[in-house]
Amino acid sequence: MRTRPTLHWTPPADLPPGTTDLRPVVDALSAGRVLVITGAGISTESGIPAYRGAGGSLSRHTPMTYQDFTGSPQARRRYWARSHLGWRTFGRARPNTGHRAVAAFARHGLLSGVITQNVDGLHQAAGSEDVVELHGSLARVRCLDCEAMTSRHDLAVRLEAANAGFAPVAAGINPDGDADLTDEQVAGFRVVPCEDCGGVLKPDVVFFGESVPVQRIERCRRLVHEAESLLVLGSSLTVMSGLRFVRQAAQAGKPVLIVNRDPTRGDALAHTRVGLPLGTALSTVADRLGV
């Protein structure tokens, strides 16, 4: 069942404050079999903004919903024009200290898995393997009619050819790769169809208001079951797609540790929340572990 997206969450007044003590994180990683879940906050130091928190894109941008995308040709034109322009910047983003630290933890056998809510592919670019992309990847494009899958690079070439000279100035880039453009700037943009069947193309990502595939959720549930502890990095856990796994771990008595500067929807279930910037925190943890 698809539901309308949860875009905002207001922290209750009785949430415990974040700490700067990284010892619980170091101890958990030292024990091994840690399942890492990452959100948009781990990619901010790569130039990709977060949705929430200070300066988050939701203060100025409403993400495309699945219902709007599938229900309106005009919405698809707006999405693809903005996403095509944003991809030029988004596709050039490179891993930062946080991504590299997670990859180092995995190489040294400290992790049981990595689940990311991000669609930027930066964990894999940093060297992490077998990452579960909970919300998909912008690097792939799927036809909603025949299910054919193509690369975003190939689509970008086709869109460039169909929209020669399209180079409006954007007000900013959002976590979903969407550039901030006005309706006037996208009015003449041409959307291209699936080359196989002429159907509607959609990025292979889970839009707000769209359900995560059941098989992917079950894979993540198995990873939580097999882990000794859960480490959440850079996620507010506002949406249920990530919060459900924190709840599962807490109900099973597994320690939940969160590193996020702002309060999260999972804080009440967590053993600790470290309120430090991720790059600083994870590089410090990596140094202490000698990885």
pLDDT of 23-42, one tens digit each?
A: 999 999 999 999 999 999 99
Is 146 annotated as a binding-site member?
yes
Q: Is 122 annotated as a binding residue?
A: no
DSSP 179-198: B---HHHHTT------TTTS
User: What pairs with residue 232 in β-bridges?
Assistant: 37, 258
pLDDT band at 10 (very low <50, low <70, confident <90, very high): confident
CA-to-CA distance for 56 and 49, rounded, in angstroms? 7
Is 119 annotated in some ligand binding site? Answer: yes
Mean pLDDT of 111-140: 96
Average pLDDT rounded to a whole number, residues 44-64: 66
pTM recorded for the entire structure? 0.90
Q: What does each C-alpha distance from 5 to 82, 220, 236 come to in angstroms? A: 20, 21, 15
Domains and their CATH numbers in the chain: 23-289 (3.40.50.1220)
147 compared with 240, residue with greater pLDDT: 147
Helix (H) or strand (E) holding 162: helix 152-162
Q: Are 260 and 273 within 8 A, CB to CB?
A: yes
Cα–Cα distance between 73 and 86 in angstroms, integer? 20
Residues with active-site annotation? 135
Position with higher pLDDT, 72 vs 49: 72
Phi-psi region of 165 (alpha: psi -120 to 50; beta: other; left: phi over 0): left
Q: Closest Cα to residue 78, out of 65, 96, 94, 97?
A: 65
Is 120 annotated as belonging to a binding site? yes
Q: Helix, strand, coil % (nearest 5) of the chain?
A: 40, 15, 45
